[in-house]
Amino acid sequence: MPTFTSVLDVRYGRDPGLDAWLLHFMAENNLEYVIDPDKNASPEQIRFQVMLADDQFYAPCGDWMLLHLLNRWYEPDVRLEYNRKWKSLIKLVQANVPDRTLRKKIIGLCRYKLCQAHAQPILIPSRLMKRLITMFMTLSGQADPYRERRALANERALRVTHSPLMDNLINACPDTAPACRNLADLRYELSVLELTRLLILSTQGLVWRLDGYVPTGEDFKHEIARTLENFDPVRRIFGTESGQPMKILFLPDSSGGLMFDLLAIRCLLRQGHSVTLALKEGFYFDCPTFWDWETDPALAQALEGAHFLADHETSKNELLRVQRENRLVVISDGTREEPNFYRTSVTFARAFKEADLILAKGVPYYRRMIQTSHEFTRDIIVFFRDDVGRFQLHCKPRSDKVRKFTEKDLRKRADSIITEMRRARSEGRTVMFYSAIIGSIPGQTATALRILNVFVDYLRTRLDKTYIVNPAEHFAEGMDGDDLMYMWEKVQRSGYIDVWRFQSVTDIEKSFELLGEKVPSFWTGKDATFSTGCTKEMRIALDMQSRYRELQILGPSPEKFFRRREYGVGKYCDSSIECH
């Protein structure tokens, strides 16, 4: 197996030995989608967040960690990371398991896992930590030993935010007026100053660890002055030139600091932006969880007016609706561990994809997003305190290969198609929509588009005064399954469809005949029922038929469709067939 110096060079399909190791790596870390699709994200879902070529490998860790594991360099840095996780586990067990026998049992079992990791270093340290925590929680019967600790940190931080000293630090006028051309510039400069102060304070752990602690005014001023010098990336992203409100996905790291994060979020809301706050699904030390607000009065108070979206598999339509109606939305990232896109929820992946900016706090995000050569689909700002307590802020621009289709873009495309349908109807033509397989047969998307186009052309020569909507003619580079399904649902619910035709076995056979080819074996017997996208469309068709009784539905019978689940996240194709 070759030795690598860059993670960007790690590709599938170039060396069978490497392919075997990568599969082994993913399986050992319990991240392989093919092995466990119910827990792990599909490659398409990963691409909502990470910019990857078709053959490119991605691991949820920094460059240095993957290269050490891949090249089998078991150096002190890797051992140190394993041992750090072990020490955290020991402290957790000793503080929360009073029974000596049970404590020894848990530590003994976890030690076996640690020894296994040392003997064959293939586990990402954060994945080892997840396993150790799961063992502790299972054997101790504790669901969340830090719940009260997090609530206390939030209560202390909230009390400090209401103190006169802290109010002066946050809201004091600057010593010198910011340079500006007009009032809009002045408001922007003051907003940047307020945001800077709040981000710095949100990383100041002593504020909520020492009851009533407030940083000294002079030290705070010096830190703000140093930080403002490095705020150019923030100015570029939040600059007044664009004048457009943004969707921001905010990723916090600890309770206590969350109170200042929420003040920063309120600052962003006042500037006209909307924010989605992603919390952990369950216990991971001091990290705030989605459910904390139920038992934490301070957090409930700070989150007053927010919309809580508990669904882990929210559709694009539903997520966009919730974000339109609520400027502050709280979701779960679906995990109980350090940042790991393979384990985040569908809702989180869609929120990431729909965001304009990711604002993340903490060293784990710095390692996973900044200290990696991989590019991401959205602009990212990460802030934290380093080992010597200095405030750090880093920005990574989104990949220049990304083309984002906003809700406005998709609605405009849908409206254009609806306008054509309305015009056809006014001219006395029948409007037909043709639903067909596009990506449900792996590796056959190009062929699917080819037979779709040739068959629609054939129908146009056969059907008089008929306007046929062919989805293949409205595809744009960069659109994924989520974008397409969102756009087409707008078209399909317009009420202008007279005939909705679903691709049949006969249609496919005729298509290959028109191409002068035999039907390949993997296309034999296929029809629209083999596509979960078409299955979703059949449900829409039946719903529209209940409102417009004259709507004709042609093709396979509806009951043949409903063995399938929701279409795969970001895919044009199936998620899977339900087994009964």
Least confident among 48-52, 177-181, 302-306, 477-481: 177-181
- Mark whether 177 and 130 lie in a shared domain: no
- Bigger pLDDT: 215 or 314? 314
508, 523 contact by CB (below 8 A) = yes
Is 183 buried (19+), middle (13-18) or exposed (0-12) by CB count in 10 A?
exposed
How much is the pLDDT for 563? 64
Q: Is the pLDDT of residue 96 over 80?
A: yes
| pLDDT of amino acid 492 | 96
Check whether residue 259 and residue 218 sit in a common domain.
Answer: yes
Q: How far apart are CA 564 and CA 570, in angstroms?
A: 16
Q: Please tell me the predicted confidence (pLDDT) of residue 178.
A: 67
Residue 575 resides in a domain: no
The Cα-based distances of 271 to 161, 249, 378, 394, 456 in angstroms read 21, 15, 20, 22, 49
* Confidence band of 177 (pLDDT split at 50, 70, 90): low
C-beta separation of 337 from 343 below 8 A? yes
Strands 391-396 and 379-385: antiparallel
Among 396, 427, 443, where does a domain finish? 396
Same domain, 220 and 297: yes
pLDDT for 54 beyond 80: yes
Lowest mean pLDDT among 153-157, 241-245, 333-337, 507-511: 241-245
Residue 11 burial (C-beta neighbours within 10 Å; 0-12, 13-18, 19+): middle
Q: Are residues 118 and 153 in the same domain?
A: no
Q: Going along 470-515, which residue ranges are E strands?
A: 499-502
Minimum mean pLDDT among 114-128, 233-247, 361-375, 376-390: which range?
233-247
Q: Same structural domain for residues 165 and 75? A: no
Cα-flanking dihedrals φ and ψ of residue 558, to 5°?
-55, -40
Whether residue 568 lies inside any domain: the answer is no
Q: State whether 357 and 241 are in the same domain.
A: yes
On the question of pLDDT at 496 being above 50, the answer is yes
Span 144-167, mean pLDDT? 92
pLDDT reported for residue 172: 80
Kindly give, in sequence order, each residue whose CB lies less than 8 Å from that of residue 513, ignoring residues fewer than 6 positions away.
none
Q: Please tell me whether residues 391 and 312 are part of one structural domain.
A: yes
Residue 190 has pLDDT above 60, yes or no: yes
Closest CA to 393 of 361, 352, 356, 369: 361
Mean pLDDT of the chain: 89
Residue 30 lies in a domain: yes
| Better pLDDT: 7 or 236 | 7
The answer as to whether 247 is a domain residue is yes
Over residues 282-310, the mean pLDDT reads 96
Rounded distance between C-alpha atoms, residue 267 and residue 272, angstroms: 9
In this prediction, residues 235-251 reach a mean pLDDT of 77
- Angstrom CA distances, 125 to 43, 113, 122, 316, 383, stand at 22, 12, 9, 33, 22
Q: What value does the mean pLDDT take over residues 471-490?
A: 85
Residue 157 has pLDDT above 80, yes or no: yes
β-bridge partners, 328: 275
Query: Residue range 416-427: average pLDDT?
Result: 96
Do 60 and 171 lie in a common domain?
Answer: no
Looking at the predicted structure, is the pLDDT value of residue 509 above 60?
yes
Residue 573 lies in a domain: no
Strand partners for 381: 359, 395
Q: What percent of the chain has pLDDT over 90?
A: 66
Are 325 and 307 contacting, i.e. CB atoms less than 8 angstroms apart? yes
Average pLDDT over residues 321-337: 96
pLDDT band of 31, cuts 50, 70, 90: very high
Name the pLDDT band for 284 (thresholds 50, 70, 90).
very high
Question: What H or E segment, with its residue span, contains residue 331?
Answer: strand 328-332
205 with 129, same domain: the answer is no
CATH code assigned at 251? 3.40.50.10880
Residues 381 and 480 in one domain: no
Tokens (6 digits) for 159: 């009390």
Whether the pLDDT of residue 573 is over 80: the answer is no
Give the pLDDT confidence score for residue 575 in this predicted structure. Answer: 44
Contacting residues for 546 by C-beta, under 8 A, at least 6 apart: none
Give pLDDT, residue 580.
31
Kindly state the tokens that stand for 7.
């993670």
- The angle that helices 257-270 and 147-161 make with each other, rounded to 10 degrees, is 50
Residue 203 structural domain: 147-396
Question: For a pLDDT cut of 70, what percent of the chain falls above it?
Answer: 94
- Residue 273 neighbours by CB under 8 Å, 6+ apart: 245, 246, 247, 248, 327
Task: Tell whether the model's pLDDT for residue 462 goes beyond 50.
Answer: yes
Q: Kindly write down the DSSP assignment for every residue of 392-459, as one continuous string.
A: EEEEEPPPTT-----HHHHHHHHHHHHHHHHHHHHTTPEEEEEE--SSSSTT-HHHHHHHHHHHHHHH
- Asked if residue 207 is part of any domain, the answer here is yes
Q: Is a pLDDT exceeding 70 seen at residue 579?
A: no
Confidence of residue 479 (pLDDT cuts 50, 70, 90): confident
Q: Give how many domains the chain has, as a whole number.
A: 3
Confidence of residue 382 (pLDDT cuts 50, 70, 90): very high
Residues 280 and 335: beta-carbon distance below 8 Å? yes
pLDDT above 50 for 400:
yes
- Final residue of a domain: which of 362, 396, 430? 396
Q: What is the CB neighbour count within 10 angstroms for residue 111?
A: 14
| Residue 557 binned pLDDT confidence (cut-offs 50, 70, 90) | very high
Category of 212 on φ-ψ map: left (φ > 0), alpha (ψ -120 to 50) or beta = left
Q: Give pLDDT, residue 577.
A: 34
Alpha-carbon gap, residue 471 to 533, rounded angstroms: 12
> Among 140, 161, 186, which residue terminates a domain?
140
Place of tokens 């037909």: 432
Average pLDDT over residues 498-527: 94
pLDDT at residue 510, as a whole number: 96
- Residue 346 and residue 210 share a domain: yes
Strands 499-502 and 552-554: parallel
pLDDT for res 564: 52
Mean pLDDT: which of 70-74, 366-370, 566-570 is highest?
Answer: 366-370
What distance separates the 2 farthest-apart alpha carbons in the chain?
84
Q: Which residue has the higher pLDDT, 442 or 122?
A: 122
Residue 494 maps to a domain: yes
* Residue 567 within any structural domain of the chain: no
| Confidence class for position 317, pLDDT limits 50, 70, 90 | confident
Q: How many helices (DSSP H) and strands (DSSP E) are in the chain?
A: 22, 13
- Mean pLDDT is lowest, of 395-404, 494-503, 523-532, 569-578, for 569-578
Residue 424 to residue 438: CA distance in whole angstroms: 26
Q: What is the pTM of this model?
A: 0.85
What tokens does 290 get?
């989605």
Q: Is the pLDDT of residue 243 over 70?
A: no
**Position 165 pLDDT exceeds 90:** no
Q: Are residues 212 and 91 in the same domain?
A: no
